[in-house]
Structure 1
Amino acid sequence: MKKYILIAILAIGAIGAYIGKTMYDKPVASTADVKTEVQIDAATLFTEFEQNEQSAGDKYNDKAIAVKGTVQGVTTEGDKTTVMLNGGDMGGVSCEMQDKTGVDNLKQGDAVTIKGVCTGYLTDVILVRCVLDK
């Protein structure tokens, strides 16, 4: 009897490990296919977070948003490319790119719209899983 209980526990553990591994390896959905909930200017977004981080966080965090702004710079570290949009004198919107299509052609001063998921505010507003919006 103990043998069957041990086999059942091992089988359940193996199934759980398989499901966990499958979920962990699942690719992240592209933001390009997601409908944005909000469209906003980079300077306005930054100002809202700067003035009241809690209120802006409730409004934008974990939501797909489209941010229109002027490119302040493009940086690449390893396989991570970040586009910084100008939000004013004190900061901006940092966009961690998921899809690098078209990013190589960006230069300082270009006007762009970037879709991404807002994750909050440190010294800049942070967007992740970003793509250039057409």
Structure 2
Amino acid sequence: MTSDRRASWLKGVLDLLVLASLTAGENYGYEIVKDLAESGLGQIKGGTLYPVLNRLEEAGLVSAEFRVTERGPGRRYYQLTDQGRQTLAEQGGLWLSFDESVRAALVKGGVQTPRPADSHEGEIR
């Protein structure tokens, strides 16, 4: 049940996390997945990531460009737009405020922050 909740929480904030992963510059799907996994968010499947990227592109928050590669298949590179940066700043601030409220309520309820060895990385499909 824990992993089911974690997946639900992650899906609720995945748009913001993808936008945040693009602040350092353009990137393609596989590298975005690696960046998010390295942040401790677990493995995000392409079937979850690509609909998010498409939705962000349709909303004008990211732009995309397909590039042919010398070896292997071509890649679609994503980059934040000015609107995406603005949305990240606004919605990211709201998320951080929400996170503080949740943390305060949990601490008040006696919940302790787990040690790193106690955390479990979930898999999002």
TM-score past 0.5 threshold: no
Higher helix proportion = 2
Larger RCO, structure (CA 8 Å, separation 6 or more):
2
Higher strand proportion = 1
Larger Rg belongs to:
1
